[in-house]
Structure 1
Amino acid sequence: MEAATSNPSSKRIALVSGGNKGIGLETCRQLASKGLKVLLTARNEARGLEAVEGVRRSGADVVFHQLDVTDPDSVARLADFVRDQFGKLDILINNAGISGVDRDPVLFAQVQEQVESMDVDQRVQWMKENSKETYEEAKECMRTNYYGAKLVTEALLPLLQLSSSGRIVNVSSGFSLLRNFNSEELKKEFDDIDNLTEKRLEELLDLFLEDFNANLIEAHGWPTGGSSAYKVAKAALNAYTRILAKRFPAMRINCLTPGFVKSDMSMHMGELTLEEGASNLVKVALLPN
């Protein structure tokens, strides 16, 4: 607290996970351009520092701190840094995420010239046909996209509560829609926010991984058609967002899809530019009270 007191700032403080490239980096740029102080975080320190230097060249007020969302010690160090340097946090954007599938970048490079002639459905179909899901990838997808976002959120919630305008934005995906589930019972469980608890939500994720490992995804009504783990992890993140919003009604807690953006996550097959996708995150982060 002493560091924050000795360096008072009237600027709002925004923290972005996975901020060293893609939508995360562009979100940092746009928030800084609107006068916020931005804490850009990334798992790889060298890449994070390089990204910060790039943003600073435009005169932006941005600082870096290392963050691996799957590492409790890394998350704790970040929370200590925010507390000591700023005394509070105004905006948290949980952007860090992984696809949960293996993709061959060489194969993509071979069809890159054809991408512009494909419509959205064709692009998604190509990605589906050329992506491979393994049990290890599925576990890591859950660990990063759901548990990682939750770990960071829980660590920073006390500092967000010290803000007069606390915001949490969880970056989700159109793949997370419950219409992708083939079981009506599962749809109801994920959607029943009046009764769904974090404990039950995580029991459902354990069930998914068990079914994945036993090749029972289709039989038990989980999403199929590729990226199953990603769809379930993001659906869980949506549900967790709604649980949080119910627990903390004074804060603005939302999840959104930035759209089908040209980024590493979409193998640059998306339709929207990074600027367009990031602007959607920024709009939600800066919603009025």
Structure 2
Amino acid sequence: MLWRAAGVPNIHQNGRVTEMESAIPNPPNARIAVVTGGNKGIGLEVCRQLAGAGVTVVLTARDETRGAAAVEKLREAGLSDVIFHQLEITDAPSIARLADFLKARFGKLDILINNASILGVEYLLDPSLTSEEKFSGMDKGQRLEWLTSGVRGTYDAAREGLQTNYYGTKHVIEALLPLLQASSDGRIVNVSSEWGLRLITNEELKQELNDVEKLTEARLDEVLDAFLNDFKAGELGARGWPEHFSAYKVSKVTMNAYSRILATRHPELRVNCAHPGYVNTDMSIHSGPLTPEEGAANVVKVALLPEGGVTGAFFADGEEAPFV
């Protein structure tokens, strides 16, 4: 896919002109946001709420047809300052194309919300066949128990989960960092989970991951390699890793740690993690008690904190909370 500078229609390799990018005038003082995984669920609602707050939003998604349809849906709702750009966060050329487009079109990026994520399991149930009525009368624990019974952990799914949730997100951040630094108030919000450090029962590892002053990216790579080796060997419990949704939990724990490293390294940016809550989405097989709108509001609140606010922090349900 080829992209041109502002004001010039964008032409696909098949010759089709895309008007979505060329339709927005982009006043120079407008804030620009990128949302990964923005075509449905929490991501789509984050795009809706940011656009409603006057932010120009670049909605990204793996699938071009679904992403373009999501933008059209928002525009029909009166939110015109939304642009679609294809992004597969595990594909380096796709990330590079997005970075090139943002540089040519805007020259900066004010807000990056890393929402794209997978559960890192094999689904035994079809999310499209599950309605929220099924969970009427269930408390959170009962819903989670049902969700656990509807998935199966496999090594391949776990490896894909780490490649997407940790490495994919990290590579997006690295590629867009210069554009965030070109902003006068650059912000990164990594959508995280309350399934954090407290679920790792290896106390030595837990302390190490919480010691941001000594922690390095190289050490995080070693931790993830050790996790996969233990997963393959069937020793998750023996080694102190969580046994259910293990790859998802470990990917979020390490992304939290990376976020804190990044916040220390780049004090000019606001880098925070946000747990949206247990939300009714395809990922949760629609078992979550919160609506996507409610979950997104918890993320957007962090993205729009006052200038000069906290960095390197974890937010749960919209409020600052401890990592451990």
Distance 2:83 2:224 in 1: 35
One-letter amino acid matched to 2:106: F
Distance 2:64 2:271 in 1: 28
Count of aligned residue pairs for this structure pair:
286
- Residue 228 of structure 1 corresponds to 246
- The partner residue of 2:37 within 18, 32, 37 is 18
SS at match of 1:35: coil
Farther off after superposition, 97-106 or 204-213: 97-106
SS at match of 2:162: helix
- Residue 101 of structure 1 corresponds to 121
- The partner residue of 2:281 within 263, 266, 270 is 263
> Which of the two has greater helix per residue?
1
- Residue 242 of structure 1 corresponds to 260
Farther off after superposition, 74-83 or 3-12: 3-12
Distance 2:106 2:261 in 1: 27
1:276 to 2:315 alignment: no
One-letter amino acid matched to 1:46: T
1:17-96 to 2 correspondence within 5 Å?
17-60=36-79, 61-96=81-116
- Residue 218 of structure 2 corresponds to 199
- Residue 233 of structure 2 corresponds to 214
- Residue 180 of structure 1 corresponds to 199
- Residue 161 of structure 2 corresponds to 141
- Give the deviation of 1:138 after TM superposition: 0.3
Matched-pair contact (CA < 8 Å) for 2:200–2:241 = yes
Matched-pair contact (CA < 8 Å) for 2:125–2:150 = no
Instruction: Calculate percent identity across the aligned residue pairs.
Output: 58
| Structure 1 unaligned residues grouped into runs of 5+ | none
Distance 1:274 1:16 in 2: 15
Distance 2:158 2:233 in 1: 13
Distance 1:55 1:110 in 2: 25
- Residue 150 of structure 1 corresponds to 170
Distance 2:185 2:300 in 1: 15
Farther off after superposition, 238-247 or 6-15: 6-15
- The partner residue of 2:271 within 232, 240, 253 is 253
One-letter amino acid matched to 1:178: L
| CA pair 107-73 structure 1, distance change in 2 beyond 3 A | closer
- Residue 285 of structure 1 corresponds to 303
- Give the deviation of 1:129 after TM superposition: 2.3
Distance 1:223 1:120 in 2: 19
1:119-130 to 2 correspondence within 5 Å?
119-130=139-150
- The partner residue of 2:189 within 156, 169, 173 is 169
One-letter amino acid matched to 2:271: I
Distance 1:112 1:50 in 2: 24
Distance 2:128 2:5 in 1: 48
One-letter amino acid matched to 1:199: A
| CA pair 107-286 structure 1, distance change in 2 beyond 3 A | closer
Distance 1:146 1:208 in 2: 13
TM-score by length of 1: 0.95
| CA pair 110-233 structure 1, distance change in 2 beyond 3 A | closer
Larger relative contact order, structure 1 or 2 (CA cutoff 8 Å, min sep 6): 1
- Give the deviation of 1:216 after TM superposition: 1.2
- Give the deviation of 1:256 after TM superposition: 1.1
Farther off after superposition, 260-269 or 105-114: 105-114
Matched-pair contact (CA < 8 Å) for 2:130–2:286 = no
- Give the deviation of 1:111 after TM superposition: 8.3
- Give the deviation of 1:117 after TM superposition: 1.6
Matched-pair contact (CA < 8 Å) for 2:127–2:282 = no
